[in-house]
């Protein structure tokens, strides 16, 4: 089974469409989304529709839950809170119904999926060796997928030894030895200094993974953010992947 894993779309339609176009050539059996379809970006309804059409599995992220009122917007920083408040007013009935069906964790094809982490599927970031080790110790699946941090990551645990770290574009992994925690990176708002939209391809039969990045029109998304009166920083940071 070949699976494409995406996460943290954040209402960036141009980034999402670029990823889906790249995936059309790869022909995965399924697409899995690890959450945060909305938040920050200018096209929440369109992104919900495209993910609903294409993803066999989709989780709820903290931003998705915030716009539904399931978590408190005041828990977010200023720009994130402003974007969540705006998204609440823009969300149409179909997009809301789609997001309401989602949960922050799941399991598919023997893989454990979390938006944040096994300890806290909504809020916790897995960014350090300690948090990766804890996530692996709390699960039993050979592959554990997380999102939320917007940073592509690959960590392995074999023979009691934890190894790995950042996973830039082109990183290839043999998953046959040990257990793995993988973060595909962010489609719509990368924060690992690479502004290109990120996704991960998993071949569960061959036990193989490859991290990918794809160019998209950052300028078009920036213009849409500004047109809608969303915080200027949310547009500026897209250019640098920060």
pLDDT in tens, 205-225: 999 999 999 999 999 999 999
pLDDT band per the 50, 70, 90 thresholds, residue 77 = confident
CATH level 3 topology of 2-239: Purple Acid Phosphatase; chain A, domain 2 (3.60.21)
- With a cut of 90, say whether residue 74 has pLDDT above it: no
172 Cβ contact partners less than 8 Å away, ≥ 6 residues apart? 208, 209, 210, 211
pLDDT band per the 50, 70, 90 thresholds, residue 17 = very high
Q: Once rounded to an integer, what is the mean pLDDT over residues 7-29?
A: 97
Pick the closest to residue 200 from 183, 216, 177 (CA basis): 183
Higher-confidence residue of 158 and 74: namely 158
Which residues partner with 158 through β-bridges? 161
- The whole model's pTM is what? 0.97
pLDDT > 70 fraction of the chain, expressed in percent and rounded: 100
Report the chain's mean pLDDT, rounded to a whole number.
97
């Amino acid at each position: 089974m070949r699976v494409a894993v995406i996460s943290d779309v954040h209402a960036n339609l141009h980034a999402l469409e670029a990823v889906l176009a790249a995936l059309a050539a790869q022909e995965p059996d399924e697409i899995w989304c690890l959450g945060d379809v909305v938040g920050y970006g200018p096209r929440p309804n369109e992104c919900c529709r495209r993910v609903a059409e294409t993803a066999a599995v989709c989780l709820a992220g903290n931003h998705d839950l915030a716009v539904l009122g399931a978590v408190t917007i005041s828990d977010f920083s200023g720009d994130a809170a402003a974007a969540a408040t705006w998204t609440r007013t823009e969300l149409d009935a179909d997009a809301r119904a789609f997001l309401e069906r989602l949960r922050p964790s799941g399991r598919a094809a023997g893989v454990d999926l979390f938006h944040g982490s096994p300890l806290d599927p909504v809020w916790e970031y897995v960014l350090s060796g300690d948090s990766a080790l804890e996530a692996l110790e709390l699960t039993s699946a050979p592959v554990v997928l997380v999102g939320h941090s917007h940073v592509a990551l690959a960590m392995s645990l074999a023979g009691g030894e934890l190894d790995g770290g950042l996973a830039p574009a082109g990183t290839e992994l043999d998953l046959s030895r040990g257990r793995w925690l993988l973060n595909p990176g962010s489609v719509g708002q990368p924060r690992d200094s690479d502004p290109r939209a990120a996704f991960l391809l998993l071949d569960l039969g061959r036990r193989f993974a490859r991290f990918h990045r794809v160019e998209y029109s950052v300028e078009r998304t920036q213009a849409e953010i500004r047109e809608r009166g969303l915080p200027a920083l949310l547009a500026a940071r897209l250019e640098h992947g920060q």
